[in-house]
Structure 1
Amino acid sequence: MKTHIQLMTQETAMIIADQWIYEEPYSFYDASADEEDYQELIDPLQRNNQYYEMWKNDELFGYFVVLLNNPTTVELGLGLKPELTGKGFGQSFISEIMDFTATKFPKISKIELSVAAFNQRAVKTYLAVGFTESHHFLQKTNGGTYDFIKMEKQIK
């Protein structure tokens, strides 16, 4: 599959925000599930050139956010197109994101991400590509407080 990654366009942001609906219990990840997340996604100023879209064979495949926490650590947020989840694409998706991130930010040595603890499907995927669990924490989001797992991977 031919992959293309670029900064997220406004058109793509609106598609993800308004059309990407995940099956239960993953509807937790719908952009509309949290007003603050929704606004960040649809507002170019809030996206601040940190959101990227991934295309495969000319079809939108997923997106990710890269937050540079310090010169050597980035934090990722990511989303795979809803109809592609649970079909075995996760490991290659995250691997391509990590490769892109390591190339774009050559000084980084660690990648971090957070995942809702209930999402064992994603946790298993992250573990399979070399992430380890750092710690659990409670996060206020989507109108409640939820258990999350911070995961990290050393890349150099």
Structure 2
Amino acid sequence: MSINFFRMTQQEAEEMAAWHYPPPYDFYDMTADEEDYHEFIDPHRRSPRTYSAYKEGALIGFFTIHPTDEETVDVGLGLRPDLTGKGKGDSFVAAGLSFAERHYEARFFTLSVAEFNQRAVEVYRRAGFKETHRFMQKTNGGTYPFIAMKK
């Protein structure tokens, strides 16, 4: 069954903002960073290129696409907490990248991931991403190491 993407509605944003991940992945809870939370939950601040992902009629995650030039998009994504760590990341990432290729004519992709999240780093590597550099990012009330990747 394929994954389908639709422009995110306010109801979907509110539902996803209430998702809670088990530690240490609670780092990705929307409520972990007040600024990120408000940007996601406010329909006037949320990117119009934020899409809800559905599989078999169920909301399974989101995918945000930020074009950075004519051929490259930066992506942000989240999978529903009960689906993480179960081998579903590969198909979710592949579907999101395919969507971005079709709708944004993307040839290259970039993303950033918290360094501790080796589970996600491995999913991205299997999808063809390679590390470009590491950097420190202010978020969630502190500064944390992140990995920038490109495909």
Q: TM-score, normalised by structure 1?
A: 0.94
User: 1:3 deviation in Å?
Assistant: 2.5
Corresponding residue SS for 2:68: strand
User: 1:129 deviation in Å?
Assistant: 1.0
* 2:112 counterpart of 1:114: yes
Q: Give the corresponding residue for 1:68.
A: 67
Runs of 4+ in 1 over 4 A off after TM superposition: none
Give the number of aligned pairs: 151
Could you report, residue by residue, the CA deviation over 1:12-47 in whole angstroms, capped at 9, with x for unpaired residues? 0000112x1000000000000001110011111111
How big is the alpha-carbon RMSD for the aligned residues of Structure 1 and Structure 2?
0.8
User: 1:109 deviation in Å?
Assistant: 2.1
Q: Give the corresponding residue for 2:8.
A: 8
Whether the aligned pair in 1 keeps the contact of 2:3 and 2:92 (CA below 8 Å) is no
Give the Cα separation in 1 of the matches to 2:121 and 2:78: 14
Give the Cα separation in 1 of the matches to 2:109 and 2:58: 27
Whether the aligned pair in 1 keeps the contact of 2:8 and 2:52 (CA below 8 Å) is yes
User: 1:50 deviation in Å?
Assistant: 1.6
Structure 1 range deviating more: 45-54 or 142-151: 45-54
* 2:140 counterpart of 1:142: yes
Give the Cα separation in 1 of the matches to 2:33 and 2:48: 21
Corresponding residue SS for 2:44: helix
User: 1:93 deviation in Å?
Assistant: 0.3
Give the Cα separation in 2 of the matches to 1:103 and 1:38: 29
What amino acid sits opposite 1:95 in the alignment? A
Q: Give the corresponding residue for 1:102.
A: 101
User: 1:9 deviation in Å?
Assistant: 0.4
Corresponding residue SS for 2:48: coil
